[in-house]
Structure 1
Amino acid sequence: MTHSSSLTLHWIIDPLCGWSYGALPLLQATATAWPQQNVLHSGGLFVGYSRRRIDANWHKHVQEHDARIAQLTGAEFGANYREQLCRDQSVVLDSLPVSSAMLSLQQQDFTQALALLTAAQHAWYVDGKDVTQAKVLDELATKLAIEPALWQQATSDTAMQQAMTAIEQTRQLMAQHGAQGFPSLLIQRGEQYSNVPVNRFYGAPDALVAQLQQWLNA
């Protein structure tokens, strides 16, 4: 593996973005190949004024996208998600609860942050559980054996405020380096950033790692 201390892989995702869910195996692959050098960023797809209630239009929109995501990435969309969650008009799409917990945990331990993201996306997209709800997230934290004091910190108002600031900075980072949409992957070496076309590697995590190694060794 290439271990350059100045190498950082910036993964810009959103927990409630289907394409980010489809890209999860890619993120897991780079985390295995470069365990110390991945950073998770939340793009804040549904935060602040972008939050929205699930309705018939949204349901139709995601149905089409999810079919395409499943086809290209092999991602699983469970029956509870398709038949229940996507039709539940009491659910408000809000990326902040998962994002802020993930970003807060990452300050202590990237592995735990990635585990939470993985569990939250599985809960949402496979089990059809509403991960915008504190109760659902608390259950995931218990399953992941996250230390209670750490979890309390990760779900605090302070963590939420810090996450909003971080999301703003992430949007600036994307604008500066021409990253569009979620997921995006920016590789940073020293002061230089390269934009990796993640969509070319859907369903092929090994190919992404091989390509990155080739670039990094060049």
Structure 2
Amino acid sequence: MPVPLTSGQTAAGQVVTYLFDPLCGWCYGASPMLHRLSETGTVVTLQPTGLFAGPGARPMDAGFAAYAWTNDQRIERLTGQRFTQAYRSQVLEAEGSLFDSGPATLALTAVALTQSERELEALAAIQAGRYVEGLDIIALAPLAAILREAGLDAAADRLTAPDDALLAANRARIAEGRALMARLGAQGVPALVAENGGRQRLIASNALFGSFDNLVSHLNA
């Protein structure tokens, strides 16, 4: 007879896929829940979608900066994640800046190819660099510095001089993320996909912003 799961416990061997974009404020807001899930022994696989890369990138302007800051304040109230004045002034209001997640996504792919078990940690470091320290992570140099500070030197080396293998792997990961979103009908990010018995199902994104027990109950349903 199976042993009932206790509160906050996921099924043994639970695997989830996290659809995200590193410049998505709501994905940053969901980070504590993802880390807590990982700490329970759940395997959290990161799947970037390139939502704000390539054709999804755009120039920053005053209107978009104001919209983003208002949205970020809502995320902070809901999740407790910090969005600092340094981020507001040095990133959102920086003249000539871009809203482009391509470089950050490439940095995470470099981590996936070198120390994949630390990719969730690397994502958190990149998010903190942007939203807390106010680093405008639209260039490879500041991203490589973040990786080195986290002890991810091999990934930083690959990011500093991207080769064809890294670029191809990055394109493939983004394509896989977009295909998974389309197949499961995900309308945006963040999104979580539970895998049980070889089957995948989409978890409602609001489960990432409630109680941890509620998220676990969705995964175990």
TM beyond 0.5 = yes
Taking structure 1 as reference, are residues 206 and 152 closer, same or farther at Cα in structure 2, changes over 3 Å only? Answer: farther
Structure 1 partner of 2:184? 177
Give how far 1:214 is off: 4.1
Give how far 1:44 is off: 0.9
TM-score computed with the length of structure 1 as normaliser: 0.87
TM-score computed with the length of structure 2 as normaliser: 0.86
Taking structure 1 as reference, are residues 187 and 214 closer, same or farther at Cα in structure 2, changes over 3 Å only? Answer: closer
> Cα RMSD (Å) of the superposition?
2.0
Correspondence 1:61-140 to 2 at 5 A: 61-140=67-146
Taking structure 1 as reference, are residues 109 and 30 closer, same or farther at Cα in structure 2, changes over 3 Å only? Answer: farther
Structure 2 partner of 1:153? 158
Aligned pair count?
210
Asked whether the 8 Å contact 2:140–2:159 carries over to 1, the reply is no
Separation in 1 of the partners of 2:16 and 2:207?
A: 17
Q: Deviations over 1:46-101 (max 9, x none)?
A: 21122111111211220221121112211110110123311113211221211122
Correspondence 1:188-207 to 2 at 5 A: 188-202=195-209, 204-207=211-214
Separation in 2 of the partners of 1:204 and 1:88?
A: 36
- Unpaired runs of at least 5, structure 1: none
Separation in 1 of the partners of 2:193 and 2:101?
A: 21
Taking structure 1 as reference, are residues 136 and 207 closer, same or farther at Cα in structure 2, changes over 3 Å only? Answer: same
Give how far 1:102 is off: 1.1
Identity of aligned residues (%): 29
- Unpaired runs of at least 5, structure 2: 1-9
Taking structure 1 as reference, are residues 47 and 12 closer, same or farther at Cα in structure 2, changes over 3 Å only? Answer: same
